[in-house]
Structure 1
Amino acid sequence: MAAEAQRMRHFWYDDSPESASGVDVLNLLRRYREAETTMRTRVRADMDMGEKDILALRYLISAGGKSTVLRQKDIAAMLGITNASTSILVDRLVRDGYAERVPHPEDRRSVAVVPTEHGKHEVRATLRDMHGRMMAVVNDMSATERDVVANFLRRMIDGVTQPPMALPPGE
C-alpha cells in the first residue's frame, strides 16, 4: 500500500531528484542574469560603448525596422535620461559612426536620429552568434513549453516590478 501511495504522489507532484524546486528555478534565473550581464559587459568592451549607448542603438535599429524614426527626446524617454545626457550620447554615436542626425521626414523643424549601415552591421556582427544560439534554444521548445516559459517570465516581471507592500503601522 505504501508503494501505491508513493506512486500516486509522484503521479501528481514530481518531487523526484530530477525535478527542479522553486529555489532551483530562482537560482537558475539568477545564473542566467549573471551570464547575460557578463555577455553585455563583453559586448560593451567589443564595441567600446556604454550600456546606454548600446540600448539607444538597439532602439534606433528596432525603430528603423518598423519604418519609424526617433528624435532625441524619444531616446531620452526610452532610456530614462535627461535631454542633455541624450544629446551627449547621440553625439558619441554620431562621432563613432553608429548613427546620424537627419531631417525628420514628417516634421521639417525636427531632427531624427537613425542608425548608420556601419552601426547596424556592428551590432549584428557582435550579437549574431549569441542570438542564433538563443533562437535555437527557443526553437527546440514545443509551443507548450514556450507558453509556460513566457507565462513564467511575465509573472516574474510583474513580481519584481510591483511596488513593495506597505507594512502595517508599528512593524
Structure 2
Amino acid sequence: MDSHVTADSGYWYGLEGQVDAPTAVLQALRGYRSAEVATRRSTRDSMGMGETDLLALRYLLRAQSSGERVGPKDLSRMLGITTASTTSLIDRLVLSGHVRREPHPTDRRSLVIVPTTETDTEVRETLGRMHRRMLEVAEGLTPDESRVIVSFLRKMTEALDEHTAGH
C-alpha cells in the first residue's frame, strides 16, 4: 500500500513496510492531519493572527454569507471563551481591520460583529487555491469512493467524540 509517512510514524502504527491495511489507513489519516495543521499554521502566519482569531473570522464570514448577525456573546459561545477574552479578540480584530463593531439593527443595546470586505477578500485569496485543489481531489472520487470515505470519517469522528465524552 502506498502511503505518505514520516520517519517517526512507527511510534504508534508500526514501521513503514510492516503495516497492514488498517494501519496504512491510520498512517494516511495522520499524514493528512499533519499537512492540515501545517497549512493552518502557515495561513495564520501569513495573516498575522492566532488560531482563535482565524476561527472567529471563519465563523463571522460564514454567518455573514448566510445572513446571520453575530454578537459578542455568540462569538464567545462558539469559541468557548470568556466574555473578557472575546472582548480582547474583537479589539484585536478591529485594530487589524478584519472586523467592525456595528449597532444591532433591531436592538439598540446590542452590537454585531461584521467582517470587513477586505477580510473576505484576504481569506479567499489566502485559502482559495488550497480549497480549489482539495475540491478537485474530492471531485475525482467515484460516488462509491465518496460514500466509503464519508462513512469512514463519520465513524472516526464518532470514535473520537466517544473518547472525549469519556474523559
- TM superposition score normalised by structure 1: 0.82
Match in the other structure for 2:86: 86
Q: Which runs of 5+ in 2 are unaligned?
A: 1-16
Q: Which amino acid counterpart does residue 137 of structure 1 have in structure 2? A: V
Once the two structures are superposed, what CA deviation does each residue of 1:110-138 show, in whole Å capped at 9, x if it has no partner? Answer: 10001000111111110011001001011
Match in the other structure for 1:72: 72
- Once the 2 structures are TM-superposed, how far is the Cα of residue 146 of structure 1 from its aligned partner? 1.4
Matched, 1:147 2:147: yes
SS at the partner of 1:162? helix
Match in the other structure for 1:137: 137
CA distance in 1, matches of 2:164, 2:86: 31
Matched, 1:22 2:60: no
Change (3 A) 1:165 1:86: closer
Q: Which amino acid counterpart does residue 47 of structure 1 have in structure 2? A: M
**Correspondences of 1:1-171 after superposition (within 5 Å):** 21-163=21-163
Q: Which has the larger radius of gyration?
A: 1
Root-mean-square deviation (CA), in Å? Answer: 1.9
- Once the 2 structures are TM-superposed, how far is the Cα of residue 150 of structure 1 from its aligned partner? 1.1
* Structure 1 residue runs of 4 or more that deviate by more than 4 Å after TM superposition: none
CA distance in 1, matches of 2:75, 2:53: 10
Taking CA–CA contacts closer than 8 Å with sequence separation of 6 or more, which of the two structures ends up with the larger relative contact order? 1
- Once the 2 structures are TM-superposed, how far is the Cα of residue 38 of structure 1 from its aligned partner? 0.5
CA distance in 2, matches of 1:114, 1:104: 11
Q: Which amino acid counterpart does residue 93 of structure 2 have in structure 1? A: L
Match in the other structure for 2:3: none
Q: Identify the range of structure 1 (102-111 vs 33-42) with the bigger mean alpha-carbon deviation.
A: 102-111
- Once the 2 structures are TM-superposed, how far is the Cα of residue 164 of structure 1 from its aligned partner? 6.5
- Once the 2 structures are TM-superposed, how far is the Cα of residue 75 of structure 1 from its aligned partner? 0.8
- Once the 2 structures are TM-superposed, how far is the Cα of residue 163 of structure 1 from its aligned partner? 3.7
CA distance in 2, matches of 1:22, 1:163: 19
